[in-house]
Structure 1
Amino acid sequence: MPREEAVVQARLVSSQPDRGAARSWPRRSFTAVAGATVGLFRFGSLSVLLALLAAIPALQWITFGYMLEVSGRLSRGEKLRDSFPWSDVATRIGFALAAIFLVSLPVHLLTHWSQVARLIDPESNASLPLRWLGGFAVGAAGIYLSWAWMRGGRLRDYLWPAPIRFLKTYWRPSTWLAARDDLWSLLVSLEVPRLFWLGVRGAVGTLVWIIVPAILLIVANREGKGGSAGVLGALAFVAMGIVLMYVPLLQSRFAEKNRLTEMFNVAAVRRSYRRAPWAHTFAALLLFGLAIPLYLLKIETLPREATWLPCLMFVALMLPARTVLGLATRRSNHRPEPQGWWAGIQRWMARGLMPAIVGIYMLFVFLSQYLDVHGLQTWFHQHAILVPVPFTGT
């Protein structure tokens, strides 16, 4: 009898809902939403930072080198969260810009009220207190922002100013010296020269591949409607398509090995493709497909001060594509080459899609030469495999 009662009690206990698990659902939902929000903010901040660099001709290679670095890290097997070297810095820059915007609102408001008071009664001193308050707001904002940046510029540093610590340490020279050292360490950790050099070498290797077919396409279009020009243009078009099928894989391998000679190691990328054909084909679909909207932006000439906006779209589209390309290379590096007739059929099916993907992309490049202000130079402005040329008329 006692044994039966124990069994009944065990069944009753097991049938009761897990209140701890039920309570964890709101917490899990909040954690998921918070994580997604932080991730989107981090990606947006990183995209804006890279877009600003891409809008400056001399610094475009840093953006290109960064994308190659992401692809290379993923190809070497690093985790996804460790493959974006500037993500934390970009997030803090985003927080800093948002904080500057928010603390500047009272300053602008007080300045506006002061100007309105002076316009209503120029001889009155009613605007003087408002100007004093505006000056005080500027000083308070500077102290608030500098104190948050000294402590790391994280979100909690803006939300909680740590007043006791502020009164104890803000005025000490050692605090400012430590902030200077931290700033220098941060700048060094960005490895800007290395990324710049990586981007320059990647661009040089890419140009070596595309320069001959691009020149032939330009010559064929300028020669007119002759038969020889048509044959030359068709051959150059096919050659450019073949080059574009290999260059993204070569760029990924170059970033992985960090050797310029890998930009010409066709045999290695062919072996890599055979180990993961569908992954590489999907990466090519994203890379070339997401580059097409960038050519649509070149229909209308933009003023120079708005150059960074299409560059932002370039980064927002190409960075995920480069990420997928790195993941595809990593997948092929960790897989043996499939054997058997079914693997061969899948490989040829994936290969059969590559000419269609590249062909559609090249069709938009071909049409853009009649819409782009740069004309035939668009054959060198390969947004899928190079940095964005400034979207301006100059």
Structure 2
Amino acid sequence: MKENSLKYWLSWNKISDIGPKRFYKLLEYFGSIDAAWQAKSGEISKVLNLSSNIATRIFEEKNNIIPEQELDLIHKNKVNVLTIEDILYPENLKTIHYPPPVLYFHGTIVESDKNSISIVGTRKATYYGKMVAEKLSKDLALAGLTIISGMARGIDTAAHKGALSVNGRTIAVLGCGVDHIYPPENRRLAQEIQESGAIISEFPLSTLPERQNFPRRNRIISGLSLGTVVVEAAEKSGALITADFALEQGREVFAIPGNINSPLSNGAHNLIKQGAKLVDNCQDILEEIHIALPQKTAENEMVKENTSLTEEEKTIYQIITKEPIQIDEIIGVSKLSAGKVSEVLLNLELKDLIREIEGKRFLKL
């Protein structure tokens, strides 16, 4: 889009009471956002059917915006912008009800991102939840899908990391401006995501991560995706809001079963009861969205299983499963000395076959 027009898109999008619905009304009536900006206040109020209070707020805000400065701000912060009229605007998002007219992002958005799955869940994730989210994300990324999430603590962070671990594409959708990284401890992760995908937001620069922004963020997460996977979620979790949006948008909803005694399983289990597809591996998702699993994933698993191992390594590797096991139990079952078991466990970790977790416990990757 030409910058002379873009500055007006940025300006209208900055006005808090002009959501997508009013934005598109202006575009339809005036024929262009440029013309809408130049129109008289009375005409705009009539087109949008504004109450006097809302009209006052809108025009006070509009009078304080200088379009040229909005364009300068984008350049100064090196932010990329797409409008609904741009050819690279995400195909999946364009089909939802009132898609965001403007997207701000760091990184790249490519056509293949239409083949994407969102993975969401609680910020207070268990080790099991984070492990499942990371593994599922990794396998889906290997299958050529882009992983969408919200870069929040817990499940979101694990989902992004899973895709990045295999050089896959991942997109983080923010509930604030792209000039704010939230949570702040994910600053390094944000940089990695930008290099292998994008950080994206419908919110103007300088927008803070306030509570009311996150449902809107969740609508974009589901809208970008062919389907949404809920890994761990309590009964009133934001992840369930994302699942509800996915259903409204005609997208698939998947759920990972969890511990029946954990409150963090209630959300996913309720979704399954309501008809969401139960998922325990990436193939369940690929079959539902009709994307074939490339041979490279199967080959990767074969290579992993046949990595050159010593007899002692094979013995211990066979003892370890996907469920955490204590080192004392490994020593007892293997009949090897404690020193030898520690040595072998370290070798298996270096070969990326197992992982140590808290309490001197190990599990197979």
**Could you state the TM-score of these two structures normalised by the residue count of structure 1?**
0.21
> Relative to total residues, which structure has the larger strand share, 1 or 2?
2
> Relative to total residues, which structure has the larger helix share, 1 or 2?
1
**Could you state the TM-score of these two structures normalised by the residue count of structure 2?**
0.23
Greater C-alpha Rg: 1
Comparing both chains, which one has the higher relative contact order based on Cα–Cα distances under 8 Å and sequence gaps of 6 or more?
1
